[in-house]
Chain A
Amino acid sequence: MTPQKSYSLPSFMNSDSSLPWLLPLITMLIVFAIIPFFYNIYLSFHEFVPAKRALLFVGWDNWIRLFTDGVFWGSLKVSLYYTFMCLLIQLVLGMGIALLIDSDDPGFGIIRSILTLTLVIPPAIAGMIFLIMEDANYGLIPWLLKSIGLIGPEDTILADPTLALWGVMIVDIWQWTPFMVLILVAGLRSLPSEPFESAVIDGARPFQVFRRLTLPMLHKVIAVAVLIRGIDLWRMVDYVFVLTSGGPGTATYTLSLYSWQRFTFVQWGYGATISLFSLIIILIVGNAFIHFAKVKW
């Protein structure tokens, strides 16, 4: 009866079908996520040759170079160490703080609000904040460490091959521990109180309750927090860029920073190869984690 019917779109473009709704998203993801992925693969088999001023096919050269390059293995080690250590510290510290501030007493709402603030600081600026605080001559942190005798009077943080990475990690821990805290607090608040009350009656000890009740019941929340934090730790480049630029020497190169640095040295193919390696690792590990930890969206 409705005359408009004759002008309507074909059925798959009708708003009852999901295609028109998803089309903008799919287009965007294909153009800006699929194409770059294949372009990266293409680049990893090519390299810019300065003598000919052109991008030429070099076969497996970039991949062979990757696996024989000591700096690459070093940066892989730094990335793994950085991701794992930060994740562990943030999770343990975050859980401790969450257990403390998960309270309805007055004041704890404000404390939780204060903790959200670090999350919205641009990481590059967070790096800057710690760059001045860790400055070798005028920095607050070296001054504090020297006055309590943890480091010698001539020592520095960011110029020291062993301490530099911790100088970077402290920024990450400062900025993102509240991320863990807020998620874990939300998780703790959603727990039902009955199992805990019956544990009280059974006379269970607090640590037992925490291990046998709290942790298993928080499993999903912890898995999600670890997944998202782990992805971001692996991708991190802002802090090292600002604080050390990979130095001293190559002590704080992460995969992303090394890839970027090769790119700026016009080794486009090699830079793309490193970034592709980093991408493949996180896709495999990330999806395996989602599968085995049974994370669902």
Chain B
Amino acid sequence: MHLFILQRLNGKELNKVFKQVLGWLIAAIFFFPIYFWITVSIKKDKDIFALPPKLFDFEVSFSAYEEVFGISRFLYVEDMGAVRPGGGDFYMMPNLVDSIIIALGSTGLAMLISILAAYSLSRIPIRGQQHFMGWILSTRMMPPVAVAIPMFFIYKNIGLMDTHLGIIIIHALMNLPLAVLLMKSFFDDIPKDIDEAALLDGATRFFVFWRLIVPLAIGGIAATAVLCFIFSWTEFIFVLMLTQTGLKTIPVVSTSFVTSTGTAWDNMAALGTAAIIPAFIFILLVQRHLVRGLTLGSVKQ
């Protein structure tokens, strides 16, 4: 729309076909690495390393998925991992489960805390509200390493190291600034008259919040939850530093596919593909609120 105005000003409108071609070319450039990664997961080794790269005419094989998700384990008793030269075990189902537990848990915790806080910030002004919001925003600036190093010692002392709960708490903390500021912007969209009318009728604040405002904000709550889920799902450095053995989420474990015979690209790509496809579906579902989410509620679509 905007460019259209600019062109009309110039007296010559950019050719519609040219614009379409350029637009699709840009989309293709940005989509290409994703496509390439998906093909690696279903290629055989000889095609992965072929030059010029085989983009369309390769042999399709799902053995990488079989190894990573242990489909064969349900069918046979033998250990698939032992067959592989290099001795790597690529069975990643437990890590997928860990990732899901952590992402769901941290999303739930962050949402619980942030909905309460955001409602209050939206409806009951406090002294120094702007400074309080600034403080929340400042916690968004902390480099993960600067939090993870002290947390490493604190977790060691209180026994949260290597536990789901520990990672759930730290991921919830990481998502709190986003969740609070975003939920506040959604609550701000709901007219305050609704609260005031109900309060005059003798309803308590909590009743107003729980029975009137939360149902009205349910779309915003869902969008915020999806973003929290995705940021926990993709988080790397906290899990890397606050776990030692066993518990590893998908992003961290996917960097460990290096065996004595080289990097197991096909297995890594299979795991990576499986990790990004659900995120794609989620993000397209909340696309309407995406920009607001990415800007912590400050730019509305």
Contact = CB atoms under 8 A, between A and B. Distances in A.
Interface of A is mostly: helix
A156 B172 CA distance: 40
B287 A279 contact: no
Interface in B128-154: 133-147, 149-154
Interface stretch (B73-81, B82-90, B249-257): B249-257
A124 interface: yes
Contact of B176 (A28, A178, A185): A28
A295 interface: yes
Interface in B168-199: 169-170, 172-173, 176, 180-181, 184
Given A32-B169, A183-B295, A237-B237, 10 more contacts: A18-B124, A33-B139, A103-B4, A110-B27, A125-B275, A132-B265, A196-B5, A209-B6, A214-B2, A221-B299
A24 B296 CA distance: 20
Given A100-B26, A105-B19, A206 B137 contact: no
Interface string B235-271: 1110011000000001110110000000001001100
Contacts of A186: 291, 299-301
Contact of B230 (A39, A120, A126, A228): A120
A278 interface: yes
The interface residues of chain B, by DSSP majority, are classed as helix
Interface residues of B, number: 109
Given A40-B150, A297-B137, A128 B283 contact: no
Contact of B23 (A28, A107, A126, A234): A107
A114 B26 CA distance: 10
The interface centre, meaning the residue of A228, A237, A276 with most chain B CB atoms within 10 A of its CB, is A228
A188 B2 CA distance: 7
A282 B138 CA distance: 9
Interface in A193-237: 193, 196-197, 199-200, 204-206, 209-210, 214, 220-221, 224-225, 228, 231, 234-235, 237
B36 interface: yes
A119 B227 CA distance: 11
A138 B27 contact: no
Size band of the interface chain A makes with B:
35 or more
A203 to B, nearest CB: 8
B117 interface: yes
Interface string B2-16: 111111111000001
Contacts of B153: 39, 43, 268
A282 B143 CA distance: 8
Would you list the 6 A-B pairs with minimal beta carbon distance, nearest first?
A21-B120, A39-B150, A122-B234, A275-B146, A15-B205, A120-B279
Interface stretch (A56-64, A65-73, A159-167, A255-263): A255-263
B124 A100 contact: no
A117 interface: yes
A66 B4 CA distance: 53
Interface in A101-139: 101-105, 107-108, 110-111, 113-130, 132-133, 137-138
A35 B53 contact: no
A297 B133 contact: yes
B236 to A, nearest CB: 5
A120 to B, nearest CB: 4
B165 interface: no
Contacts of A287: 134, 138
Contacts of A182: 290-291, 294
A28 B113 contact: yes
A271 B149 contact: yes
B62 interface: no
Residue of A28, A97, A115, A137 most packed against chain B (CB within 10 A):
A28
B104 interface: no
B265 A36 contact: no
A263 B139 CA distance: 22
Contacts of B222: none
A259 B9 contact: no
A68 B295 CA distance: 38
A204 to B, nearest CB: 6
Contacts of A117: 30-31, 34, 280, 283
A227 to B, nearest CB: 9
Contacts of A143: 51-53
